[in-house]
Amino acid sequence: MSCQISPPDVEVCVELGQTKGYCAKTLSEDERMIEGSDWILLKRNSLIMPNDSYAQIKAFLLKICKQSDRCDIKDAEKKIDDLEMKANKAISAENPILL
């Protein structure tokens, strides 16, 4: 993401089942599947956020990006879209009937 103030390259995860999840980094291409006790431990130490809350935070961050001269809005939108697409692919591969 092209910003004068760089956001952190942190992991964002979605649950694919009680003992399985998928995580991707916010900026880099790193991604991974986590299973078993590793996923259970990660969930225990994570902030769980409903999709609506995520959508509101995303809209706020994109609004701030758009209003400032510190961020390339097109780049920011693309990076977020790419991250969401990866998560949706992982979910649909795991639960095809839900889609």
In the chain, where are the structural domains located? 11-98
Is the confidence at residue 99, as pLDDT, over 70? no
Higher pLDDT, 69 or 54: 54
Kindly report the pTM of this predicted structure: 0.72
pLDDT-above-90 percentage for the chain: 30
CA distances to 11, 23, 49, 57, 86 from 54, in Å: 14, 16, 7, 5, 16
Mapped onto helix, strand or coil, the DSSP state of residue 44 is: helix
Q: Would you say residue 98 has pLDDT above 70?
A: no
| pLDDT average, residue stretch 31-55 | 92
pLDDT higher than threshold 90 for residue 8: no
Label residue 83 by pLDDT band (50, 70, 90): confident
Q: What is the pLDDT of residue 37?
A: 96
pLDDT of residue 5: 62
97 pLDDT higher than 50: no
Phi/psi for 26 (5° steps) reads -70, -30
